[in-house]
Structure 1
């Protein structure tokens, strides 16, 4: 099945297929359909995210990095890192010419904010994804039973997720529910007055330049209900357990130092973290505020030349690494012989004390989890 029949371009295709031969996929499709009833509203989920993709000879673009950075520069840095990894492989194989070509392009990225490069005949691009959250009467949608969640408490970082290596190809068949969701998301655009004019203008233009799209594997975040609104409180994780671990680390390690908690509140936060570890629950009440682990859908728009890159209106405040280092050196930040003034000395002292406290609490958390797993 296609979006408008069999004559539309491949990048606009939404091919839906029965999933009876794949029980796990069929279950996921049923849950996606049920979510339309339990959480019928689809809202923006915290701004765009960016990753790196490589064009494949056979068609489509394979994601070669994590896909969670809020700014394009983070993805450019990941592209440079990927090039250096390929340079090391070329060096190990004794191919000096290939090694030099990868390194030359990695160094370009250190100095230039480039969103696409062709290296040795292979095209790489910074790819943009929109995030969405389903909402219902009780709030945002939590993880679904079919969402992969294999890691034990404290080990969410060990699950690398399904995004790296995922191929962005609209021609790949999908289940009925995902296909319908793709059609819904592709038509969404900011209402007049709901976003800065440049953001709305770019979104309207994307409807024309990148009318197709692909859903990436879902990721997860923690969101807090405050003043009647739910807002994400962390970057996305590849699994629900990754988000739980991020939240429990905040409760045990970050909050006591950053919020200067008293001993009673520290103990209460610790009990909440223990409960989340033990029950693998997806909701807590912290200081009277509901905090929930939330499922995040991510859509990459696709046009005739492949996936969409960064838009002019996307925030891009970070500089390439070499440019940033040069600027800091010019400002004297790296001058080890510069005498600090009184305010800078006090700031450094406080930072050192915070660092020591963070390390102590991290060690306490590690020891607690080791003891729990050894029991």
Structure 2
């Protein structure tokens, strides 16, 4: 029995409920199996930041995709208020929204009230599950809408904007157990700086509850018997595959001096990955895997956790940054007659590879449309190519 008895506040509540429908039941069964096959939780990289709005019905609605720094989320919130002002048919509303924009241009604020609604920059952390064979790959029940159109995942919407951060929402048993595990997770003191460790310890008390956001996906590489993250997270498994194939086809050839043999090997590996839509691919002795990334927001009495003092936040708000540059004599106003920027050979190579890949994807899309028009192609959900061995 805790100090609250049966009256625990919502942010400390884990409401476990039966999951309705066969798909939800299947996802719940998969999640419970994942706890057995991948029992170890590990933090992954730096936190992610969103701008959110408090709901009148309870909880906080995420209004953005994730940013890598608190200031990137503040900049996004400023853009949100600009749009609000432009779309408003009320002078009073537009004036209030532009006043918020002006403040965000000068001051690094993590919360503000605009038109009687609270907005907050919210911090989330990412975790992966590890097992004897490495990090957990995507589950069969994870949505993968871009699976049949490799290279086009960037056009698909993320599941995070519109998500409601509400600890009182009922979950399945597996999600409730994971939320409990993550509520008690603190990074090892030797793995981070003392300031980061102190902030993490403090957060366990100031924001002891947790809410899981939709899972995301990334690429990991096995190197010298250990796995390390290779890309940032993407909303879908196909997004992670596309990130890797783009790296193979464009980034590596443009930024590294590859031999023709190596460049061809990476291009062929990208083609295999596109065709198979699997979870792993190997090339030139390197082994890559699509991994599942859990996202969690900590919750306290007043809502989701804002950025911590130790979070990496190097940028100033735009107007404050401009003023600082001018005071230091480092700011130059752009001139109308500035000569065009001369591209480096590396930049020209990058543009050439991007154009070549754009043509490849366009030809692939046209061939797919032709197959469908003629009654060929794969049936929905059919996967005729096996996963490449890891």
Choose which of 145, 166, 179 in structure 2 pairs with 1:150.
145
Summarize deviations over 1:106-152 as a string: whole Å, max 9, x none: 12212211111110111000001111000011111111111110112
CA distance in 2, matches of 1:323, 1:314: 20
CA contact (8 A) 1:117 1:124 kept: yes
Choose which of 130, 139, 161 in structure 1 pairs with 2:134.
139
Choose which of 75, 78, 83 in structure 2 pairs with 1:77.
75
CA distance in 2, matches of 1:159, 1:236: 15
Match of 2:119 in 1: 124
RMSD: 2.1
Does structure 1 residue 17 correspond to structure 2 residue 39?
A: no
Q: Which has the larger displacement, 319-328 or 238-247? A: 319-328
Shift of 1:58: 0.7
Match of 2:294 in 1: 297
Relative distance call for 1:322 and 1:175 in structure 2 (3 A) is same
Summarize deviations over 1:243-295 as a string: whole Å, max 9, x none: 11111111111111111323222111111111111111221224422111111
Summarize deviations over 1:146-183 as a string: whole Å, max 9, x none: 11101121111122121100000000000000000100
CA distance in 1, matches of 2:262, 2:119: 49
CA contact (8 A) 1:3 1:12 kept: no
CA distance in 2, matches of 1:6, 1:224: 46
Summarize deviations over 1:73-99 as a string: whole Å, max 9, x none: 111111111111111111xx3x12211
Shift of 1:226: 2.3
Does structure 1 residue 223 correspond to structure 2 residue 215?
A: no
Q: Secondary structure at the match of 1:57?
A: coil
Match of 1:168 in 2: 165
CA distance in 1, matches of 2:329, 2:135: 45
Gaps of 5+ in 2: 368-390
Does structure 1 residue 360 correspond to structure 2 residue 352?
A: yes
Match of 2:182 in 1: 185
Q: How many residues align?
A: 360
Q: Secondary structure at the match of 1:193?
A: helix
Q: Which has the larger displacement, 279-288 or 293-302? A: 279-288
Match of 2:199 in 1: 202
CA contact (8 A) 2:254 2:353 kept: no
Relative distance call for 1:354 and 1:108 in structure 2 (3 A) is farther
Shift of 1:325: 3.5
CA contact (8 A) 2:322 2:331 kept: no
Shift of 1:333: 5.6
Match of 1:250 in 2: 247
CA distance in 1, matches of 2:80, 2:306: 18
Relative distance call for 1:274 and 1:174 in structure 2 (3 A) is same
Match of 2:364 in 1: 372
Shift of 1:222: 1.0
Match of 1:113 in 2: 108
Gaps of 5+ in 1: none
CA distance in 2, matches of 1:272, 1:355: 24
